[in-house]
Amino acid sequence: MPAKQQQKDMPTIARIRERVRRSSHGGDISVPDCQAAFGLMSPNPILSRIANGTPSAAKVLGEWKIDVTSVELYLDRINKEYNK
């Protein structure tokens, strides 16, 4: 875990975070890889969050590439409830 990660991750969040890091290529993750990391059956939740601007993403050659840092910030935000 990076040094800035001071909080203890909820076990589910820790597993998702590890799968996201393993799937990242050059700081980006594809929608199917993100879908697999979160254990989702459909890409729709990820695509709707991209539409809302929650993760930072760009369409490259017809495929969404999601910035891993923005996914980690999202995980930090939902993990904050665990650490209260």
Paired residues of 19 in beta bridges: none
Cα–Cα dist 25/28, whole Å: 5
Please state, as a whole number, how many other Cβ atoms lie within 10 Å of the Cβ of residue 16: 22
**pLDDT tens digits, one per residue of 54-80:** 899 999 999 999 999 999 999 988 888
Looking up tokens 């995980």 gives: 75
pTM here?
A: 0.79
**pLDDT tens digits, one per residue of 6-39:** 457 778 888 999 999 999 877 899 999 999 999 9
